Structure 1
Amino acid sequence: MSADSHRARRSSRAGVSAWRAARGIRTPSRPLIRRRRCVRMHRPARWGLGAAGAGIAVIVGLEVSSLDDLNPIRRTISEHGMGPGGWIFGCAVGLLAAGSVGIGVSLARRKLAGVLGTVALMGWSVGLLLTAWFEKHDWSVGPSVSGSIHRVGSFVAFLCLPLAVVLITGPWRRRERSRATLVAFGLGVCSVLWVVGIATMVFIGTRNGVPWYRVMPLGLVERGLAVTEVAALLALGVWAATPGSRSLKPGFRAGGTAGSAANLTPPHV
């Protein structure tokens, strides 16, 4: 580039700066713009981690408080959703679902998750909301529509999260690796193995005429799968909330205020 071109560019920038200064328009520096963008991108993930952590804490509290009444080997986690206090369990699962959405929003904003991974993560959240809203079957009365919807929601949730984690954190998606992505990917693979193992046991039991809920210690297996998947979700959230997971392109936003300054056009010099 010639010296005349350099002088013309400097003159143009000086003219724009003088025009903004005359109208009282402040132009944020590029580092400040980057920080603001990072805050907007990381904030949903941090809120999501907080909501998910609160929901998990409530569920753990329900588990501990019901050890004398509920057999964790045979009874599923959804047993906490039955009875007068079932709304507490429903709220906890709802918090976990909302936190998952927040994590997904951050991943999508930062372009860390593709379309399939984002859809799978939202499928996990929808499945959780279904299990939170609809009670499981009360076998002392018989099967119900609510229980069937609850079962479908559980199936969708437990199937979608491993798929989402593996798709989002797979080593084929990016060259740079972090501890959070490695942990999330490993837990995602473990979750897939859980699902495959459960499906295999159900298949073997069906061929031998054994009901699927008696093939394995259902409560223990479900809790093992749930712990693995929730840990994978938290690792995904830590990755989404950590600055520097992806380099942001420097940008320039005109105007210091979002109102009238955004509609002003600087003169051409």
Structure 2
Amino acid sequence: MRVHQPARWGLGAAGAGIAVILGLEVSSLDEMNPIRRTISEHGLGPDGWIFGFAVGLLAAGSVGIGVSLARRKLAGVLGTVALMGWSAGLLMTAWFQKHDWSVGPSLSGSIHRVGSLVAFLCLPLAVVLITGPWRRRVRSRATLVAFGLGICSVLWVVGIGTMVFIGTRSGLPWYRIMPLGLVERGLAVTEVAALLALGVWAATPGNRSLKPGLRAGGAAGSAANLTPPHV
């Protein structure tokens, strides 16, 4: 199997999941306020399995992208673990429904919240670790885009954390001091775009990270070949 093939499958699965979620968003505009209601609201009700299936596709696609990145030595151990953490968090949100506040809190809703937190924190960490300029490799447009989106995702997370802190200090519910649905969608769009940029990079043939020692050896070998023979 070609090392970039899992990333191509991953992009296909992730794209399909994203398309389904976008369809749910458009079809529910008359029923759900996207500024206040979170994306996970689609998981409630008898048709909630559609949302769960779509998130599961996104999680599976992320795993495929991570496999290609690891096989091609484009991601370190920490970056790979963080990317798998994002996938695991997505699977948790897909399998467990969020709180249905018309009924009350539930164990499923608590697990869903933990999964969402893990996913939203792990993806920016993974992207920054994998595409950071301190990693020695050939840069590409996809890595630059992914790194920029990763930094934007970090800023989203910091902003949300700041709002939670302000809400805690002021005694107000943190989800009341910001348009939660809009903020969550902004974070989700940024993180998914970063994931797709990673996928494009992993699916493109010819990108391979070389260890510094190998590069030095290659350079030394080239220099040796240019040395004229002794007479």
What TM-score do the two structures reach when normalised by structure 2? 0.90
Deviations 1:49-82 (A, max 9, x none): 0000000000000000000000000000000000
Superposed counterparts of 1:163-202, under 5 Å: 163-202=125-164
Q: Based on CA coordinates, which of the two structures has the bigger radius of gyration?
A: 1
Alignment CA distance shift 1:209-1:40 (3 Å): same
Measured in 2, the distance between the counterparts of 1:131 and 1:111 equals: 29
Deviations 1:8-56 (A, max 9, x none): xxxxxxxxxxxxxxxxxxxxxxxxxxxxxxx610100000000000000
Measured in 1, the distance between the counterparts of 2:79 and 2:21 equals: 26
Alignment CA distance shift 1:76-1:164 (3 Å): same
Measured in 2, the distance between the counterparts of 1:196 and 1:162 equals: 11
Question: What RMSD, in angstroms, separates the aligned Cα atoms of the two structures?
Answer: 7.5
Measured in 1, the distance between the counterparts of 2:166 and 2:214 equals: 61
Measured in 2, the distance between the counterparts of 1:124 and 1:100 equals: 8
Contact map agreement 2:152 2:190 (CA 8 A) in 1: yes
**Any runs of at least 4 consecutive aligned residues in structure 1 with deviations exceeding 6 A, and if so which?**
247-269
Measured in 1, the distance between the counterparts of 2:46 and 2:130 equals: 39
Alignment CA distance shift 1:207-1:110 (3 Å): same
Alignment CA distance shift 1:115-1:256 (3 Å): closer
Contact map agreement 2:166 2:174 (CA 8 A) in 1: no
Alignment CA distance shift 1:181-1:256 (3 Å): closer
Ranges in structure 2 where 5+ consecutive residues have no aligned partner: none
Alignment CA distance shift 1:249-1:75 (3 Å): closer
Contact map agreement 1:255 1:262 (CA 8 A) in 2: no
**The 10-residue stretch of structure 1 (52-61 or 204-213) with the greater mean CA deviation from structure 2:** 204-213
Q: Secondary structure at the match of 1:255?
A: helix
Overall identity of the aligned pairs, in %: 90
Contact map agreement 1:255 1:261 (CA 8 A) in 2: no
Contact map agreement 1:254 1:262 (CA 8 A) in 2: no
Alignment CA distance shift 1:42-1:142 (3 Å): same
Deviation of the 1:212 alpha carbon: 1.1
Alignment CA distance shift 1:263-1:40 (3 Å): farther
What TM-score do the two structures reach when normalised by structure 1? 0.77
Q: How many residues align?
A: 231
Deviation of the 1:155 alpha carbon: 0.1
Contact map agreement 2:137 2:210 (CA 8 A) in 1: no
Deviation of the 1:164 alpha carbon: 0.1
Measured in 2, the distance between the counterparts of 1:58 and 1:106 equals: 24
Contact map agreement 1:127 1:156 (CA 8 A) in 2: yes
Alignment CA distance shift 1:260-1:92 (3 Å): farther
Measured in 2, the distance between the counterparts of 1:181 and 1:260 equals: 28
Deviation of the 1:262 alpha carbon: 36
Deviations 1:208-244 (A, max 9, x none): 1110110100000000000000000000000000011
**The 10-residue stretch of structure 1 (200-209 or 157-166) with the greater mean CA deviation from structure 2:** 200-209
**The 10-residue stretch of structure 1 (145-154 or 174-183) with the greater mean CA deviation from structure 2:** 174-183
Alignment CA distance shift 1:253-1:71 (3 Å): closer
Ranges in structure 1 where 5+ consecutive residues have no aligned partner: 1-38
Alignment CA distance shift 1:218-1:260 (3 Å): closer
